[in-house]
Amino acid sequence: MPTQNRQVRLGARPVGLPTPQDWQHTTEDVPEPGDGQFLVRTEYVSLDPAMRGWMNDARSYIRPVRIGEIMRAGALGRVIASNHDGFAVGDHVTGTFGVQEYAVSDGLGVIRADPALAPLPTYLGVLGLTGLTAYFGLLDVGKPREGDTVVVSGAAGAVGSVVGQIAKHVGARVIGIAGGPEKCGLLTEEFGFDAAIDYRSDDVRAALREHAPDGVDVYFDNVGGDILDHVLARLRLGARVVLCGAISQYNATERPSGPANYLSLLVNRASMTGMLVFDYEERYPEGVSQLAEWLAAGVVTAREHVVDGTIDEFPEVLLKLFAGENTGKLLLRIADR
């Protein structure tokens, strides 16, 4: 039985991109599970753009991570000791276990992952909050119909790649926006998108005019900034913009300027709606079961980007999200010590 637990804590509030000085690395004794608790050894840590927001001292949908607190993170691990009737040694589980090698849990918000049904990383990707964000954000908020033109940004990322595949499944024409020729090739060749726009080298506005000549019915926005503005200019009557995220703004050190083309919402009687996956908690079972069915049927392909390392490497792996170095769901796999 291991005795030491390595942890990564928030050391300071970052300005711009997080630096090594913004983190503290600590070692504590592995905690003992009490009555009704179990001990989990972390196998995979989920890397999420939202983590950058949790590091700010700002009012949001969830309280900020405190200075000195273990960094909040979703993770998947194996139960290695248990005093809980519902979880046995050997079970694989997902939960908000934080950036640490071992975590004690009372089972609240913990979901079992069965490696016989899907590879473990998929439980943090398509079958986790990533897939659920795509599922509820697109279908409940975007409401795509057959024949609609759907545009998604961050399209080769975890959420975006699932959004595009579900949109194809409902019969929409799907245009993905991503960075670089490799990712764009993947969108059309592996994920079945109808067209891809490389925002790093293409003129996004001109490319949208070419690929969506009649306008855009649904825009699933993961990035905000200039790309949002370009898509707003191409909205069609009654369009729905799903405001899922704005990664291009998360490390901004100055106040972002508002989208110049927002009056397009008025002209086109369009809507722009913020969505938060946590609001759908009661419907997670529905989402997971539908996503699992689509995975099994090949309607949706799961893509994870797994980096092998130690828990101490979390800060540098997180930066991959902001540099666009990941394709699909970014995970840190922690080797057994």
Nearer to ligand NAP, 160 or 259 (CB): 160
Nearest approach, Cβ of 90 to ligand NAP (angstroms)? 29
Smallest distance from ligand NAP to CB 215, Å = 22
**Residue number with CB closer to ligand NAP (79 or 242):** 242
Smallest distance from ligand NAP to CB 307, Å: 13
Q: Let me know: does 326 contact 247? Beta carbons within 8 Å.
A: no
Which residue number, 110 or 159, has a Cβ lying nearer to ligand NAP?
159
Residues that bind ligand NAP (CB under 6 A): 48-50, 130, 133, 154, 156-160, 178-180, 183, 222-223, 244-248, 275-277, 321-322, 324, 326, 330
Residue nearer to ligand NAP on the CB measure, 91 or 198: 198
Angle between helices 204-211 and 225-232 (to 10 degrees): 40
CB of 174 to ligand NAP, least distance (A): 15
Is the CB of residue 158 less than 8 Å from the CB of residue 135?
no
* Main-chain dihedrals φ then ψ at residue 138, nearest 5 degrees: -75, -50
Q: Which of 175, 169, 176, 162 is nearest to 146 (CA)?
A: 169
**Residue 81 bridge partners (DSSP):** 39
What's the min distance (Å) between Cβ of 12 and ligand NAP? 22
**One-character DSSP codes across 71-116:** PP--EEEEEEEE--TT--TT-EEEE---SBSEEEE-STT-EEE-TT
Q: What is the number of residues in the chain?
A: 337
Whichever of 180 and 309 has its CB closer to ligand NAP, that residue is 180
